[in-house]
Structure 1
Amino acid sequence: MAGAARIRNTDSASSLAEQQNPSTQSDDALPLRPSERHHPPSGPSPSGASVWHSSNLGSVLVTTSPESARDGAATAASIPRDPDAETGNKSVFDYLSELSAPLTMLTVKSRYASASHWVYTAVWTVPALRWLDQETAKQGEFWQQLCQCKAIGENIKLQRLLVRIPGQYGSHIPDRATADRLLGNYLRTFETVYRIIHVPTFKREHEAFVQDPGNVSSGFIIRYQLCLALGATVYDDTFSFRSHALQWIHEAQEWLTASEKSRASIPGIQAMCLLQLIQQATESLYGDRVWILCGNLHRASMCLGLHRDPAKLPAMPPFQAEMRRRLWATILELVLDASLEAGQPPLITPDDFDCALPSNLDDDQLSPDTTSLPEAKDGGVYTDSSLQIALGRSRDLRLAIANHWCKIKPETDYSQILHLGSQLSTARRALMKTLHAMLSPVSQFQLQYCDVVLMRYVFALHMPYVPLSSPAFCHSRNACVDAALQLCYMTLPLSASEEPLAEAIRAASGFREQCRDMSRLVTCGSGSFRSVQHIATSIIAADLARTVAADRGLSPSGSGLRAAEERWLLRASLEWAEQRIRAGQENVKDYVYFAVIVAGIEAGMEGDEKEGAMARGGRDAAQRALEILTAMAGGRGVPGPGEFQAAYTAEEGELDMIGSFWASDFPDLGWVDMPMQI
């Protein structure tokens, strides 16, 4: 195709060989379209080694010997690359359908992620994955629709750019009423969970800024704008201040880069914490880069000694001591969050810090002039620090879970999973009991947000077992399904349903009313706010697909109602994914992917042919997304079907099915199937 983009989709095994033999790499090698890829040469499979099985979407390494996989004896040279070497004509998708042990390693364009990463959910819906693989190879109408969506999305990004003068901060702050509303949004949501600022002091600085904008430090303006950006994520249903939020992020990045000395201070750490939060919420950075930058925050805070309890340091005012404890607790939460989102280890253990949790105090009990620490309130009394303290009680357990699948030699005894899962269930119950028992009512947003924080660890711990059919792992599957259903009732657009059965199911679920702030955050936000819902939807889809395949219309008692419930929630998830596009998420991958999955599952439930249903569902969704993006772009810079190729080069913007489709511009995907002892 003349002028068409060259699509990079190299084989994972070949990439591994290149990494171990740098001399084989070529700087000027052109990336290939999936149809141009060559399978690695075949060869005999040594006894007890592993075999790579390749497709247009990536490669799967199936291990046949526990010892070789666990002790690293299998090398790139000893691993056959041809799936026909030992296994006949079985495809990679056949192996994904027959997994007997968790997949424990994934590589995406030289990036490594552990088994708790959200992209692992792709292997739970093999029929949809197989269809997408075929469409990748054909590069037909569906492929072209996605390329058009990608090109229009890039144009929309350019339209969002505001005029910016380097070194000038505060030029795009909205009018006082709107700014106050954005700040109020932040203070009642994020700040109640992640204690970053001292609210009374911040409000005094804010009032001084309003009275005389030119007489405050640039550091305050940066922190103020980041608070406004976070408040904008729950301002409305369409994230109408997205352009401003991105502008404020750019200004903060510039300020921190230009003022490196400012990082080594409490105000600098506060700005870094706020920036870390908003970068995930707006997807201005993806998981791995957020994790890398979080490492900067983590190390900068340790250089200031925030990981040490103030009681172990030279004497300091009570106000400073409490702010340090609050900030360290927040930094640990951000480190854990970035770790799960990137599928990388948190790189910290409880032995690396001794800073205690903050005291149960309200902000107005503290001030920079405080000479003695006020008496902390009883644990049952709600204060400005209560949520941070309640979450902090489970942080050692969450560190252990975040580290579990990131180990080079992960624990293969399923009893360890059950033990950690039991501890996590106890921690969730204790958290909810503590929050419900507060003398002052905790808001619905605070309850749900804290529960979702711990819910993510249920997924991180158990989701590698979701695709396994063995009854031995049913506890993990059930734990994931229960958490996924609970999350969907919290966050999905369910209130507009006019189906009597759906209304009855929603009423029986116990969720009478959704939290507007939480729903907006999951719809307008990105990072972990998006990935946790993606995981939940994928879990429900996998569970429903398993039920449909097993029952074949002969459902045992109760499974029919569960199937109707899950089908309803999948449709709501599809609506959620569409709302995310309307809220400014120019990447259509979730919407199209879920449309293919839902179409295939519903065809199976109705006894129809799945392949044709998935094709119609995928193409209809891609066309629908194209229409939405075209309207958002205002018709400006919209390429025609034969014009979009010029928008793609052999760089980061390449569109391949695993790359831009799931992993945000990551071109290759490889899975490792590691055997385990039960």
Structure 2
Amino acid sequence: MAVIDRRQPCTRCARGDRGDKCVYEAVKKPRAGSQKNGSEKEEEDHGPDPFSVPKEKMVKYRKGKVRHGGRTHWALIAHEFQEMRQFMSADAVDTTGINKQLKSMKKFFPKKRLLNYPFCPSREPRYTSQEGIISTLPDRSTVQSLVDIYFETFEKTHALFHEATFKETLSLFWEHPESVESGWLASLFLMLALSHHASKHSSAETVTPATHGQIEAYLESGQAALHLTGFMLKPTLDSLRALCIVAIGKALDIITLDDSDTLYIFTGFIVRYAFLLGMHRDPKYATGMPPPEAQARRKIWTTILFLDLRISIEAGMPLLIRSTDYDTLPPQDTFGALVFESQSISNELTPTTFQHKLAQSIRIVADIIAVINSPSPDLKYEQVLNYDAKLRAVLRDFPTLNPNFAENTAAHLFQRSSLSIFIHRVLLALHQPYATDPQVWRDYQTSHYSVLQCSLAILGIQRLIFECSELSVPVMWLHELYRHDFMVAALYVCVALRRDQFSGGQGDGLSKEQAKQTAWDTLLGCREIWQRDCTLSVHHYKIYLGMCLITAAISSLEKGNEPLDAMKEVAGDVIAEVTDKLGASSHPSTGSSEAATSGSGSGPLDFMLFDGWSMDPTFFSTGIDPMTPDLHTSWGPAFLGGHGGATYNGWPGPPIK
């Protein structure tokens, strides 16, 4: 008997030229106890498409504000935890007192500042001239040290400059300060802000009010220099670079301490700015353009694409740049004989390998996100599997980390981690509809295992970053930059625990209890990481609080107890812990009642109105490269089902050159 393809019109309608009006009746869901294997089930028709989402679930209206959240938004997964909503509800009398205490903890953290940065420069006289702005620079050795840190860290994942050229200009600047453009000066100050943040934020103990003050001083000078350029009237590459650094700073939470919506708005400005500069057209069409400028344009454009995609995914909003909107190629390795045609890149790590692989994945990801975050997402399962294969192939082609960690450079670690997190995060969004639908997830075993594999892979990278945090090269900035991705990965693990979906692998003899214990070890390890950093910022505090609340709720449900009582108890513990750490050194500018009650939403972790709530589990190492893209070899059912105790205490921290 032939299998009917319900994605095509039936024979009767096709013959009658009524294909556009053909509608099938809904097919009954398969029984949960069906014994057919996963591959057979995936070839069957499953009735209603799990990818379709009721539009009322994607749009929320409250207090005059409409919020849209596409499938990549974390709230779609967070809705699973109704106990959290009950705990945070303003109508819940049992939790009103504890919620007020949790919200009042804001008084211990710096108040939101620079809310409209970089569009509101200071009116102080020293910021009105380039000479006055230059006078705010620290000594030459400090500047040089921070510039070196920038090129060792942020430039490796968000390339904007040619290092030798920038440092040559910096040397000339010390001899002739008046020789540099204001846009270049703005980038210099913004570099100092990011590098100072990266060098100090290795742990909560190294961050003081003076740290925040110095970073804000650099940001203020950078903003003033940017406004001297008249950047709104005269777009330049220097100004565009400075704006991109501001976006990175916002993603790191050192500017405005706000949610992903703010960054989504600002990234939109950067994208339009780049379009006006013609960045979306490849330099080969600009006759006479010097090779160094062509190289710079390609490099900056690839970074802008990366920023736009990551922020659209985080905010659950439509893309600003589609794959058909540009033809700019990735940069080449040298300024010399610039090759304009597409090149095949070897498996050796070169200065532009990361940007080439990033650009290759971006075109695929752009097509995926354009559908997933649209008002009417529609992606058939064959397309899901096809996109999955393409993305895994890109990651597989990127040079892996050497098992002898001493042979790895910081650049390799940062770039491999960034590309792996990016691709696995997209794969999570791609498979989510089929893997988390409570009615059909058993019928899509490939998606089910893929979601668990991608979640654990992302958390494995988090653990790797954490183990490197004490090394000479700043590393924790990478943890800050991708904290939202870690949070989403953790939510998927929590959903699987709540639904009791961790089970022994097929034919490996592992028990369900061992599988669940592995997942629990992951979440408890996560809680320890966030406990260490819970006083870094108000967002870190909320991340740690959310981690504690959700693990308490799941644990209580597993034992058959009332989760609300367990959540109230752990919330009290968090309040006592943070008060003990910060109570004696409360930020002087935030002790007012205004600071204690500022912010949006009805509670400290409002799911629908606040984007700052997140959780970030770590991962117990199995000795397997967490960045491998191969689902069925390194992260197959046997691993996802548990290890039977065959775990290590942690990753060996790779020495960084």
State the 1:374 CA deviation. Answer: 8.3
In the alignment, what sits opposite 1:443? 412
Q: How does 1:174-185 map to 2 (within 5 A)?
A: 174-185=138-149
- Pair 1:495–1:261, CA change in 2 (3 A): closer
Of the three residues 299, 302, 308, the one matched with 1:335 is 308
2:222 corresponds to 1:269:
no
State the 1:190 CA deviation. Answer: 2.0
* Residue pair 1:232, 1:242 contacting (<8 A) in 2 also: no
State the 1:411 CA deviation. Answer: 0.5
Alpha-carbon separation, structure 2, partners of 1:360 and 1:254: 34
- May I ask how many residue pairs the two structures share in their alignment? 532
SS of aligned partner of 1:235: helix
In the alignment, what sits opposite 1:489? 460
In the alignment, what sits opposite 1:571? 524
* Residue pair 1:136, 1:143 contacting (<8 A) in 2 also: no
In the alignment, what sits opposite 1:191? 155
2:212 corresponds to 1:245:
no
2:389 corresponds to 1:422:
yes
2:82 corresponds to 1:126:
yes
Alpha-carbon separation, structure 2, partners of 1:445 and 1:665: 24
2:307 corresponds to 1:354:
no
Alpha-carbon separation, structure 1, partners of 2:608 and 2:107: 14
State the 1:136 CA deviation. Answer: 5.1
State the 1:564 CA deviation. Answer: 1.7
2:367 corresponds to 1:387:
no
- Pair 1:136–1:399, CA change in 2 (3 A): farther
Of the three residues 511, 514, 517, the one matched with 1:558 is 511
* Per-residue Cα deviation, 1:366-387 (whole angstroms, up to 9, x for no partner): 3xxx7x5489997345332221
- Pair 1:568–1:138, CA change in 2 (3 A): same
State the 1:477 CA deviation. Answer: 3.4
In the alignment, what sits opposite 1:55? none
Which structure carries more relative contact order (alpha carbon 8 Å, separation 6+)? 1
- Pair 1:388–1:620, CA change in 2 (3 A): same
Q: How does 1:531-550 map to 2 (within 5 A)?
A: 531-547=484-500
Point out where structure 2 has 5 or more consecutive residues left out of the alignment: 1-19, 24-49, 115-120, 614-657
2:172 corresponds to 1:225:
no
State the 1:268 CA deviation. Answer: 1.4
* Per-residue Cα deviation, 1:48-96 (whole angstroms, up to 9, x for no partner): xxxxxxxxxxxxxxxxxxx9xx9xxxxxxxxxxxxxxxxxxxxxxxxxx
In the alignment, what sits opposite 1:656? 603
2:89 corresponds to 1:116:
no
SS of aligned partner of 1:393: helix
Question: Structure 2 counterpart of 1:226, which letter?
Answer: L
* Residue pair 2:259, 2:610 contacting (<8 A) in 1 also: no
- Pair 1:338–1:611, CA change in 2 (3 A): closer
- Pair 1:373–1:657, CA change in 2 (3 A): closer
Q: How does 1:74-473 map to 2 (within 5 A)?
A: 102=53, 105-107=58-60, 109-133=65-89, 140-155=96-111, 165-167=126-128, 168-170=132-134, 172-211=136-175, 213=177, 216-236=180-200, 237-238=202-203, 240=207, 241-257=211-227, 259-260=230-231, 264-282=235-253, 284=256, 285-361=258-334, 366=335, 373=338, 379-411=346-378, 413-432=380-399, 443-465=412-434, 467-469=436-438, 470=440, 471-473=442-444
* Per-residue Cα deviation, 1:138-187 (whole angstroms, up to 9, x for no partner): 563211212211233355869xx999654343555444444333322221
- Pair 1:222–1:256, CA change in 2 (3 A): closer
- Pair 1:446–1:252, CA change in 2 (3 A): same
- Pair 1:163–1:619, CA change in 2 (3 A): farther
2:576 corresponds to 1:620:
no
In the alignment, what sits opposite 2:12? none
State the 1:594 CA deviation. Answer: 1.5
Question: Structure 2 counterpart of 1:113, which letter?
Answer: G
2:545 corresponds to 1:598:
no
- Pair 1:489–1:560, CA change in 2 (3 A): same
* Residue pair 1:169, 1:218 contacting (<8 A) in 2 also: no
* Per-residue Cα deviation, 1:94-126 (whole angstroms, up to 9, x for no partner): xxxxx9975661437423221211233321323
Of the three residues 477, 480, 483, the one matched with 1:521 is 477
Alpha-carbon separation, structure 1, partners of 2:455 and 2:234: 39
Which stretch of structure 1 is more off in the superposition, 128-137 or 481-490?
128-137
* Per-residue Cα deviation, 1:502-554 (whole angstroms, up to 9, x for no partner): xxxxxxxxxx999886861255x25xx22111111211122222228999xxx
* Residue pair 2:190, 2:218 contacting (<8 A) in 1 also: yes
* Residue pair 1:381, 1:440 contacting (<8 A) in 2 also: no
- Runs of 4+ aligned residues of structure 1 deviating over 6 Å after TM superposition are 161-164, 374-378, 493-496, 512-518, 548-551
SS of aligned partner of 1:107: strand
TM value normalised by structure 1:
0.69
Alpha-carbon separation, structure 1, partners of 2:164 and 2:456: 39
In the alignment, what sits opposite 2:41? none
SS of aligned partner of 1:581: coil
Alpha-carbon separation, structure 2, partners of 1:450 and 1:479: 17
Alpha-carbon separation, structure 2, partners of 1:137 and 1:256: 50
State the 1:491 CA deviation. Answer: 1.6
* Residue pair 2:503, 2:515 contacting (<8 A) in 1 also: no
* Residue pair 1:186, 1:231 contacting (<8 A) in 2 also: yes
State the 1:212 CA deviation. Answer: 5.0
* Residue pair 1:153, 1:587 contacting (<8 A) in 2 also: no
- Pair 1:562–1:402, CA change in 2 (3 A): same
Which stretch of structure 1 is more off in the superposition, 278-287 or 210-219?
210-219
2:535 corresponds to 1:582:
yes
* Residue pair 1:599, 1:610 contacting (<8 A) in 2 also: yes
* Per-residue Cα deviation, 1:634-654 (whole angstroms, up to 9, x for no partner): 677546xxxx479547xx556
Alpha-carbon separation, structure 2, partners of 1:472 and 1:337: 30
Alpha-carbon separation, structure 2, partners of 1:380 and 1:550: 37
State the 1:449 CA deviation. Answer: 2.0
- Pair 1:391–1:493, CA change in 2 (3 A): closer
Question: Structure 2 counterpart of 1:595, which letter?
Answer: C
In the alignment, what sits opposite 1:60? none
Point out where structure 1 has 5 or more consecutive residues left out of the alignment: 1-66, 71-98, 497-511, 667-678
Alpha-carbon separation, structure 2, partners of 1:449 and 1:420: 19
Question: Structure 2 counterpart of 1:351, which letter?
Answer: T
SS of aligned partner of 1:110: strand
Alpha-carbon separation, structure 2, partners of 1:519 and 1:202: 23
* Residue pair 1:466, 1:476 contacting (<8 A) in 2 also: yes
SS of aligned partner of 1:196: coil
* Residue pair 1:263, 1:300 contacting (<8 A) in 2 also: no
* Residue pair 1:360, 1:385 contacting (<8 A) in 2 also: yes
State the 1:202 CA deviation. Answer: 0.5
* Residue pair 2:109, 2:537 contacting (<8 A) in 1 also: no
Alpha-carbon separation, structure 2, partners of 1:545 and 1:481: 14
